[in-house]
C-alpha cells in the first residue's frame, strides 16, 4: 500500500476524502460531486491537487457535456 505524504507538512498518512462543491450562482450554478480532497490528520490542512483543480476547470468549461439537471432544494442559513 502506498502511503501518501502531505504537501504542507511532509508527514505520511494523508487521506483522500470526497466532497461536493458548488461554483457560480443562480442560472450559472454548477454543483460538482465526488471531488477528491487531500486531508492531513497531522497539520489539519485540506487541499486540492493541481490535477484535481485542472479537472474542475475542464468540467466547468464543458459543463454541457458533463452536467445533468436535477431539482435541488435550497435553504438560507438564518
- The string of pLDDT tens digits covering residues 3-59 is 889 999 999 999 999 999 999 988 889 999 999 999 999 999 999 999 999 999 999
Question: What is the third-level CATH fold of 15-66?
Answer: Ubiquitin-like (UB roll) (3.10.20)
Q: Per-residue pLDDT for 75 more than 80?
A: yes
User: What whole-number distance in Å separates Cα of residue 31 and Cα of residue 41?
Assistant: 27
Place of cell 492531513: 40
**pLDDT score, position 72:** 83
User: What whole-number distance in Å separates Cα of residue 47 and Cα of residue 30?
Assistant: 20
Q: What is the three-class DSSP state of 24? A: coil
**CB of 14 closer than 8 Å to CB of 51:** no
**pLDDT score, position 65:** 93
Q: What is the pTM of this model?
A: 0.83
Q: Per-residue pLDDT for 78 more than 90?
A: no
**pLDDT score, position 1:** 62
Amino acid at each position: 500500500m502506498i502511503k501518501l505524504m502531505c504537501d504542507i507538512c511532509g508527514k505520511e498518512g494523508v487521506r483522500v476524502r470526497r466532497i461536493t462543491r458548488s461554483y457560480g450562482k443562480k442560472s450559472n450554478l454548477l454543483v460538482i460531486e465526488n471531488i477528491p480532497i487531500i486531508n492531513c490528520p497531522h497539520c489539519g490542512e485540506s487541499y486540492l491537487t493541481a490535477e484535481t483543480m485542472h479537472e474542475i476547470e475542464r468540467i466547468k468549461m464543458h459543463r454541457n457535456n458533463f452536467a445533468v439537471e436535477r431539482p435541488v432544494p435550497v435553504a438560507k442559513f438564518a
